[in-house]
Structure 1
Amino acid sequence: MIKKYDSKKMQQLVLKIYEAYGFSAANSEKIAHTLIYTDMHGIESHGVQRMAMYDKFIQNGKIKINSIPEIVKETNVSAVIDAHFGIGQLNGIYSMELAIKKAKEHGIGIVTTKKSGHYGIAGFYANMAAEKGLIGMSSTNSRPGMVPTNSTQPFIGTNPIGFAMPAHPHNFILDFATTTVPQGKIEVYRKLEKDLPAFWVAKDGVNPIHDHTNNQDLDLLRVPKSNVGLTPLGGISELTGGHKGFGLGIIVEIFTSILSQGDVSSENDGSNPEIGPCQSFIAIDPAIFGNKEAIITRFSDYLQEIRELPAVPGHTIYVHGDKEQISYLDAKENGIKVDDATISEIKSIATRLGVSFEEYLS
């Protein structure tokens, strides 16, 4: 069952949990903000639902609490960061802030970060740039999840791409996995005891898995070199464009692991503690192309033209960011949606760390 919870109270609880792990108050606030931001924008797969996974990584040392990101190569417009396995949200904020600083000074900033951790949604970091009046992009590789076209074995990560640009009445934000759905969405459906409604998961490269109770196969999504994986964006066939999602996943590898000389998805199978995700952060100042306000206004007008196109009866035309804004306004008024299984996980973590769950959520 899904219930709604006060976002401010939930954020305070999450903050206290991360303080109990040993993160500073300032860093705990940043981590909590990214998680609640995600849930408030309707992306339940990557919000507080991810806390159980982070808890596991903190306990087994995969996430190192006191790590500090280090610049290992830098130019006026670029940098390579070694994150030393700190938590992904802090690495992402540090890296995008550096990209933004370079874009403000030189028109563009590109930062690629290695040995990081799962950083949540790519769109959060892209929107950091948009909130500063810049175009933002971010992507990350991950553990192998995607089955390349005509393969029977996962090799590429879900490798999402986030893009954001300032617009009126709210920013344009596009955030998508290069698989049909991210791993987290499978986890949410299993928690809610719902069957998978489309060809999201492939066995032996061609056979769909829909039954959420098929634990024997679905559990293999986390097993290296198994015969179960996520379909590329576009599906398993070139006829439906699956090779395009496959290709986009490779592009993400270029901007994350290849340019940083870090670890590619296929190396990140969880067996080696010295291997971790790589990420990229790009900020571009529209002013290098002309009048910034004129560019943003033209883009905003363009998006509005799309919204006002004739719509299929019973449907509304949304551009990217519209649904997230609707979700944000609803969550601000009525609370964020969290399923019972996730609440149980959070309560267990809080209890173990000596944080009073009931003080924040009843």
Structure 2
Amino acid sequence: MKISAKSENEFLIQVFTKYGFTPDNSALLADTLVDADLRGISSHGIQRLAWYINMIKDHTIEPQNEPLILKETPTSLLVDANQNMGHIASALAMTKLIEKAKNSVVATAVIRNSNHFGTAGYYSRMAAEAGLIGISNTNTRPLVVPTNAKDAFLGSNAFAFTFPGEPHPFVFDGATSVVSGGKIQVLAKKGDPIPGEWAIDGDRQVVKDANEAEDILSAVAFTEKQPGGGVLTLGGNSEENSNYKGFGNSLVVELLTGILAQGSISADTNTGKHDFSQFFMVLDPSFFGDLATLKANAQSMFTRIRNLDHQPGTQIMIPGDREYKHYDENKVHGVSIDDTTADQLAEIAAQCHLSAPQAL
């Protein structure tokens, strides 16, 4: 099923408004989900809506709460998301950091008492579109199994980095694990197998059935009992393939988020208080040289990489290329919605007395 970005956006705004978000916050939340779907990141798009609504119903998310600025200097910011959606506090923090970095070259923010914030790249692109470098991190529920361990402890712990450029900014946005849990969730909804070594069971055996993997991740992420298994770190299941480097990357994000925010580390977000933490940094590259020259040099490097000799039938793509291609195509042809998500949207629409997005 394909729906237009416009109808998706309108539907999401109506739903979020029905659940108590302000008009401005509803529009922001809708934009982040539509943006993810347009870029082909369906794991973080409208398929998340039912999950968000469940968290609203159980008061994990409090839509009426506004984020609070706890501490602020010309170069730093500490924000309490106040148990609302992470998107709202994150957009606030990045907007303020952009202003600060233009005056002070570098600015950082930490957010505590937060929730899921969508795609990390959404906030880093805000900086890039202002001619700045943007960095975004978050911890998550426990999903990821450290090197040689059998139990999940770390979050998928996203890292996004953007650099201003033409015709569009450079964007790297990815989990510090092999994949985010949302990608497995999408495969489970579609009934498709896992194509690579993404998840393991309690005996550290690779799981290929997406529904089995999703059951493992749900048990790990939403219950206090540790059943064993989870998502693998970057590098996969073998220490010989340097999976300890992915483990290290995940730990760096844990330190910058849960530890620096004095909130829960990923391992503890499924016990008692549920709280994620985020970290952001913005840098002004024009301090180091002429911005137009820096952009041109970056594009020259990317062009040289794309034109390297490569395997027949393949294409060398810079991080972000695939998402920009999806964005242009999906703007015209609509975004894809799996059948399970379509059924969920119809149910949500009925509960809210709204019309669900119609297929193109």
TM-score by length of 1: 0.95
Aligned length: 357
Q: 1-side partners of 2:346 and 2:171: how far apart? A: 32
Q: Which residue of 1 aligns with 2:144?
A: 146
Secondary structure in structure 2 of the residue aligned to 1:13: helix
Q: Which residue of 2 aligns with 1:120?
A: 118
Q: 1-side partners of 2:82 and 2:189: how far apart? A: 32
* 1:350 shift after superposition: 1.8
Q: 2-side partners of 1:315 and 1:82: how far apart? A: 46
Equivalent position amino acid for 1:299 in 2: A
1:55-204 map, 5 Å: 55-204=53-202
* 1:328 shift after superposition: 0.4
TM-score by length of 2: 0.95
Q: Which residue of 1 aligns with 2:276?
A: 277
Secondary structure in structure 2 of the residue aligned to 1:99: helix
Contact 2:181 2:217 in 1 (8 A): no
1:255-270 map, 5 Å: 255-269=256-270
Q: 1:185 to 1:213 in 2, by over 3 A?
A: closer
Q: 1-side partners of 2:17 and 2:72: how far apart? A: 32
Q: Which residue of 2 aligns with 1:353?
A: 352
Contact 2:142 2:155 in 1 (8 A): yes
Unaligned runs of 5+ in 2: none
* 1:232 shift after superposition: 0.5
Deviations 1:51-92 (A, max 9, x none): 111010111111111111112122211111111111111111
* 1:294 shift after superposition: 1.1
Deviations 1:213-235 (A, max 9, x none): 53764643434422121100111
Q: Which residue of 2 aligns with 1:316?
A: 315
Secondary structure in structure 2 of the residue aligned to 1:357: coil
Equivalent position amino acid for 1:161 in 2: F
Of 348-357 and 45-54, deviating more is 348-357
* 1:352 shift after superposition: 0.7
Contact 2:216 2:230 in 1 (8 A): no
Q: 2-side partners of 1:354 and 1:168: how far apart? A: 44
Q: Which residue of 2 aligns with 1:13?
A: 11
Q: Does 1:330 align with 2:309?
A: no
Q: 2-side partners of 1:85 and 1:105: how far apart? A: 31
Deviations 1:79-137 (A, max 9, x none): 11111111111111111112111111111111010111101111111111101110011
Q: 1:93 to 1:218 in 2, by over 3 A?
A: closer
What is the root-mean-square deviation of aligned Cα atoms in Å? 1.5
Percent of counterpart pairs with the same letter?
34
Contact 1:9 1:361 in 2 (8 A): no
Q: 1:216 to 1:48 in 2, by over 3 A?
A: closer
Q: Which residue of 2 aligns with 1:291?
A: 290
